[in-house]
Amino acid sequence: MSDDLGFTFRARKNGEVKINHNGRLATTLRGDAASDFIEEMSDCAFIDQQQVMARITGNYKRGNERLAKSHPRNS
């Protein structure tokens, strides 16, 4: 499995942080959330950065997809 999950980020002069997934805007962080994010990114390795951005955007697998497929509600 590749360490690259397709996330990138860019800090802007106005303090915003834009997080992209596969070239498309996934979310924008502002204020304290943006500054906390930048601080966390400076201490992380690449794979950890990818995981953090996946959690922030909600774009990650939770491990229960197989169970959910067989749930009666989804039949």
d(CA 38, CA 46): 14
Q: What is the pLDDT of residues 3-47, one digit of tens each?
A: 788 999 999 999 999 999 999 999 999 999 999 999 999 999 999
Query: 44-55 as b/e, with b when 16 or more CB fall inside 10 Å?
Result: eeeeebbbbbbe
With residue 21 as reference, give the H or E element that holds it.
strand 17-21
CB within 8 Å of 35: residues ≥ 6 apart:
15
Confidence (pLDDT) at 29: 96
Residue 29 amino acid letter: L
Q: What value, to the nearest 5°, has the Cα angle with vertex 47 and ends 50 and 6? A: 40
Of 29-33, 48-52, 68-72, which has the strongest mean pLDDT?
A: 29-33
